[in-house]
Chain A
Amino acid sequence: MELLIKNAYLIDPLQNIKGEIVDIPVKDGKIVEDVSSSAEVIDVGGRLVMPGGIDIHSHIAGPKVNVGRLIRPEDHYNSFMSRKPSRRSGSGKTTPTTYITGYRYARMGWTMVVEPATPPLKTRHTHEELDDVPIIDKACIPLVDSNWVLLHFLSRGDLDSAAIFVAWLLQATKGYGLKLVDPGVALKWIEGTGFGLGFDEQIPIFNITPREIVRGLGKVNEMLRLPHPIHVHCNRLGIPGNYETTVETIREAGRSIGRIHITHAQFNSYKGENWAELKPGSEEVAKAVMETKGATLDMGQLIFGTSTTMTADAPFEFALYHLTSIRKWAGGEVEAESASGVVPFKYKKKNLVNAVQWCIGLELALLVEDPWKVFLTTDHPNGGPFTRYPRIMLWLMRRKAREEILNKISRAARRRALLPSLEREYTLYEIAVMTRASPARILGLENVKGTLRPGADADISVYDVKPDMIDEIGDEEFVKTLRYAYLTVKSGRIVVKNGEVTETMYGSTYYVKHPKAEEFKTIEGEVKELFQKWYTVNFNQYTVHEREVRSLKPVEVM
């Protein structure tokens, strides 16, 4: 099938195109040099065209998302999409069901989403859910920081065995990278403690510190040359004064690893002794990220309104539960691997802490001068639903829109924040970098995703606005334009037209296939013995087979 998108005002940072009127020929799901005259021609008349968006951190599937759906029926009462011939129905605002997750991303022009935390033992479930998410491409990143087998190797200082195990684990679970959530916290949580686990505190059973876990797994990650750097949710998340830990983590990575991705940095950039004295620590974190060559961060921006917080940092969720008035909490434990918690939360404008949090997210994005180092996320659904990305773009691109919100939030927060003094406004090009090009690069997929060069996947989003008019339209219209794409093309097929899903198709699930996994035989005996000791699950049933996942796409590491 051939397609020709004519008169596209293309912004493609990976090709260094900052806005040119071009024609985009598509054949068999790929961008090509030229198409025959029989191709279907769509004239977009100078509208804004970008490669399909990539979300690097969004909890859309997996056991804890499902728990979130279960404990929040009220989230599903008023938010739903009804069935149409082209799509299925679904409900939920902060924890949407699988089908509408895909539809909503596609309607926004996003075509790839990474589920960033899945306990390896339950990754089969994650894949089952990801298989149901239509249109978008997916990948999932297994949690490894509290994996007992891995810690067993790390505490021994045996990085070679750890590397072989990681390579095997990624292949066995069909995962894409390494996620570290509050390194080591699940082990501490066994004792019922672990809230505010410091970077240099000892962890029971393996007598190892979070610093050693980050360093060890970071080194393993670089030894294996995995496409994605370690994906770190830093220690002491959500505790005032935690910016020091975050900066220390970045500096440690800069010294001994080289690459690191700090995720939802907003939750990790708090200054002050306690909640009443909370101040933004975004300046220090942004500075550390800019000074460290291989460091990147994503915003984890907060949206005022309801959200469902879910993380593998179980003690923090338990502490958060005692702060909320909604009085719901779900805790989970995965044997020898991880723990988790789910708590519904409401962010309020007049609340000092929430208002400061809102400022920190935007400050981080504005203070990191290099747009290639910062990504747009809300840590869906922790900070708010992903459908609010266009609004964050508005805040980033227009100082006036930011100030409108600043006038409504808690006054004390406004006095403490740096945000009122920041004059920077993002350009469309920078938005394209932070939502398209840079995530593709950090996932190691810059040849196929996040760009429209010949040979790349034909994932295209077209917005109903001419770039020279973008500064003239009103705020609400701006949000609406970016929220509902004029056209979304996924793998060469038109899936969204005028903001409505016109066709349901399924994307691929990316995973890393590493040759080192073949050396697994050398440690198989030991791992099997540990499995016998620590797991209730049979070793042979641990592996997710290729036949179990819909259209897997291996990324081979040489």
Chain B
Amino acid sequence: MVLTLKPRKPLKVLVEAENLSPDRLAGLSHGEVENVTVNYGSKQLKLKDLFEIEGEIPSDPAEAVLKVVDGYGKICRLGEKMKAGKIIVEGSTGHYLGRWMEGGEIEVHGSVRSYAGCEMKDGKIEIYGNAGPYLGGRLRGKITKPGMKKGLIIVHGSAGARAGYGMAGGAIIIEGSAGIAPGAYMTGGKIMVKGDCPGLPGAGMTGGTIIICGAVGSIPPSFYPDSTSRKAKAKGIVVEAPFIIYVGDAVENSKCMGRLYINMDRNPWARKHKELIG
């Protein structure tokens, strides 16, 4: 059984839909679902005023499936604090997708805006389009708090700047290219970028692994070449290429616990660093 939400008219301003998660809606009758509140701009509306509601939702949260047709990229905070179930988004959606998510699955057949999987604790997010900045990151300013802790984010398109900002665990797989500084300030976990990166991967990282298979503009000067590898692995995906492994970031922590994999085939400048490895 699938509960489908379709906007009645084109959404013009952002919708704050923190109540729309399958486990929170599970077990509600059709009438109760209609009366769930969402904020449309500055106005607080009932779900039925904004969406056409079809289907029903089962009482078991694990089986609950919520299908949202957005297409305008305006629905924010979908699946906030979600613990179980599944959300399918047809089209693009807004900011804070799956923020503080603790389990379940989200599938987006389109793009998302910033802070997808922000500070998520567990679960899986799969995005078939592109992702905005701060994918799986933490909020700005919370320097001592971790970003994503566990779980998996797969982006089939590209990601914006600072993917995995302050991330502490879990994995992010980006099939396309990443924006500037993926894995900035990360303390654990894994980021794999199959495409290119304009620069500064892992700036300020104190742990975790970043794998970049494509061309990299530059790496931070506080990284040291450590060793080489024939392949790199992340969540069962194996990429075979001559990788050089850097450790860092020495500015943040002299122990240099972070690992940065750079593909030497695509980055001829990295070959020079190979000679420095003793």
Contact = CB atoms under 8 A, between A and B. Distances in A.
A480 interface: no
| Size bin of chain B's contact surface | under 10
Given A77-B139, A77-B142, A327-B144, 12 more contacts: A71-B141, A72-B141, A73-B141, A74-B140, A74-B141, A74-B142, A74-B145, A75-B141, A325-B144, A326-B143, A326-B144, A327-B143
A367 B141 CA distance: 40
A328 B143 contact: yes
A326 B145 CA distance: 10
Contacts of A326: 143-144
20 contacts: A71-B141, A72-B141, A73-B139, A73-B140, A73-B141, A74-B139, A74-B140, A74-B141, A74-B142, A74-B145, A75-B141, A77-B139, A77-B141, A77-B142, A325-B144, A326-B143, A326-B144, A327-B143, A327-B144, A328-B143
| Size bin of chain A's contact surface | 10 to 19
B204 to A, nearest CB: 10
A75 B143 CA distance: 12
Contacts of B140: 73-74
Contacts of B145: 74
A130 B207 CA distance: 45
A328 B139 CA distance: 15
A325 B142 CA distance: 12
Interface of B: 139-145
B96 to A, nearest CB: 12
A73 B139 CA distance: 9
Interface of A: 71-75, 77, 325-328
A328 B145 CA distance: 14
Most buried by B among A74, A77, A326, A328: A74
A71 B144 CA distance: 14
A516 B140 CA distance: 50
B4 to A, nearest CB: 32
Nearest to A71: B141
A74 B143 CA distance: 9
Contacts of B142: 74, 77
Nearest to A75: B141
B42 to A, nearest CB: 8
Contacts of A325: 144
Nearest to B252: A327
A73 to B, nearest CB: 4
Nearest to B145: A74
A71 B143 CA distance: 11
A327 B139 CA distance: 16
A77 B144 CA distance: 15
Nearest to B142: A74
Contacts of B139: 73-74, 77
Nearest to A328: B143
Contacts of B143: 326-328
A363 B144 CA distance: 33
Contacts of A73: 139-141
A326 B141 CA distance: 9
Q: Give the 8 A-B CB pairs with smallest separation, nearest first.
A: A73-B141, A74-B141, A74-B142, A73-B140, A327-B143, A326-B143, A326-B144, A72-B141
Contacts of A328: 143
A325 B143 CA distance: 9
Contacts of B141: 71-75, 77
A196 B195 CA distance: 53
A527 B143 CA distance: 46
A74 B166 CA distance: 14
Contacts of A74: 139-142, 145
B141 to A, nearest CB: 4
A378 B208 CA distance: 42
A73 B145 CA distance: 13
Contacts of A77: 139, 141-142
A87 to B, nearest CB: 15
Contacts of A327: 143-144
A93 to B, nearest CB: 13
Most buried by A among B140, B141, B144, B145: B141
A128 to B, nearest CB: 24
A328 B185 CA distance: 14
A128 B143 CA distance: 31
B58 to A, nearest CB: 34
A263 B140 CA distance: 34
A325 B145 CA distance: 11
A325 B144 CA distance: 8
Contacts of A71: 141
A326 B142 CA distance: 9
A108 B144 CA distance: 32
B249 to A, nearest CB: 14
B145 to A, nearest CB: 8
A325 B139 CA distance: 17
Nearest to A325: B144
A424 B3 CA distance: 66
A77 B118 CA distance: 14
Nearest to B140: A73
Nearest to A77: B139
A552 B142 CA distance: 40
B76 to A, nearest CB: 15
A327 B143 CA distance: 7
A328 B142 CA distance: 10
A75 B139 CA distance: 11
A35 B141 CA distance: 55
B150 to A, nearest CB: 22
Contacts of B144: 325-327
B215 to A, nearest CB: 32
Nearest to A83: B42
A77 B138 CA distance: 12
A77 B143 CA distance: 14
B247 to A, nearest CB: 21
A73 B140 CA distance: 7
A200 to B, nearest CB: 39
A536 B140 CA distance: 34
Most buried by A among B140, B144, B145: B144
A77 B119 CA distance: 14
Nearest to A74: B141
B143 to A, nearest CB: 6
B77 to A, nearest CB: 13
B10 to A, nearest CB: 26
A326 B144 CA distance: 6
B258 to A, nearest CB: 17
B41 to A, nearest CB: 13
Nearest to B42: A83
B114 to A, nearest CB: 14
B139 to A, nearest CB: 6
A74 B119 CA distance: 14
A312 B144 CA distance: 26
A291 B11 CA distance: 71
